[in-house]
Chains A and B, each alone.
Chain A
């Protein structure tokens, strides 16, 4: 590519995913302008030498929200769009949107106080799952089997201090096979999917789940695309599980990892992301 098109990438650290993206851009002859999320500053005036599109790969939700807004302020399109980052990066907002769009999700209640969370847990029933609104890799998630255990976990969460820890996302514990599904959506297409198996109830690849390529049924393929579209579309990993009452969408991740998925499927996900970012930058 020799027309001066430049890809911006906003990063915290360089993991195999980002290294793959840098290599894919290089293979396509696309110069990359790199922004480190801990070093960059944003003024109100539009700086010179901006990229044609900004690919957000920061692992920090907070930094992602503000950085994509700042690049949008300069007129630089971002992947994902700021609205998508804000929505999909917050489990509460994302679940509300999925439900509004008719995407099946587990039974969920939101409470804004620990005492109200106990009421929400009673309504959901035990066992239930408590999740943080923001952040992932399975951290600060808890499966609670009894009201006594719930009380203690809620007290600990409140003691963490930050107001966000006193916002409670309570979800039914869905009986499922020992696996869940991740579908990687780029634009309007599922580019790869995998099962994640674990003996633990959390099936995050970051927690050592075993992964295996999955051939999605037309129903699951459509569900993944609908979920991605519901939060605004872009590059999104849709986590689903097969419940006795049909497939449910658990999460839509706006800055997804794909090392395990690439390993399981052989799909050139980094290349697909770069191609999609170029497409967005040329719109």
Chain B
């Protein structure tokens, strides 16, 4: 487990993979998995203008 860098809530891994994006269960901030062992997260990259499908 680790802490959300925004609200410091405890965030657990649940078999996440490197680069996976998920919302913090407490504050909803989009987080990106920075490492799996040890588990580490950072705020997910902000949506850029040319992002899409």
Q: Which residues of A contact B (CB under 8 A)?
A: 11-15, 18-19, 22, 34, 36, 38, 59-62, 89, 134-137, 139-140, 162, 237, 253-257
- Find chain A residues with CB under 8 A from B47 CB: 137, 139
Checking A14, A59, A162 against B52 with a beta-carbon cut-off of 8 angstroms, the contacting residue is A59
Q: Which residues of B contact A38 (CB under 8 A)?
A: 45
Indicate if B23 sits at the interface (CB-CB under 8 A): no
Q: Are A256 and B17 in contact (CB under 8 A)?
A: no
Chain B interfacial positions (CB closer than 8 Å to A): 17-21, 32-33, 44-45, 47-53
Minimum C-beta distance from A205 to chain B (A): 10
Contact of B19 among A36, A61, A134 (CB under 8 A): A36
CA distance in complex: A139, B48 (Å): 11
If A59-B52, A139-B47, A139-B49 are given as contacts, then 12 extra A-B residue pairs at C-beta distance below 8 Å, sorted by A number, are A12-B51, A13-B20, A13-B32, A14-B17, A14-B20, A14-B21, A14-B33, A15-B20, A34-B19, A61-B51, A62-B50, A255-B52
B49 touches A13 (CB 8 A): no
**Bound Cα distance from A60 to B47, whole angstroms:** 9
Contact of A136 among B19, B33, B53 (CB under 8 A): B53
B19/A137 in contact, CB under 8 A? no
- Which residue on chain A has the smallest CB distance to residue B53? A253
Give A257's nearest chain B residue, CB to CB: B53
Query: Nearest residue in A to B48 (C-beta to C-beta)?
Result: A60
Residues of B within 8 A of A237 (CB): 53
Whether A13 contacts B19 by the Cβ 8 Å rule is yes
Nearest Cβ on chain A to B47's Cβ, whole angstroms: 8
Q: How far is the CB of A119 from chain B (nearest CB, A)?
A: 26
User: B18 contacts A135, CB within 8 Å?
Assistant: no
Question: In the bound complex, what is the Cα–Cα distance between A257 and B50 (angstroms)?
Answer: 15
| Chain B residue nearest to A251 in the complex (CB) | B53
On whether the beta carbons of A162 and B53 are closer than 8 Å, the reply is no
Which 6 A-B pairs have CB atoms at the shortest separation, nearest pair first? A136-B52, A253-B53, A14-B20, A14-B19, A61-B50, A59-B51
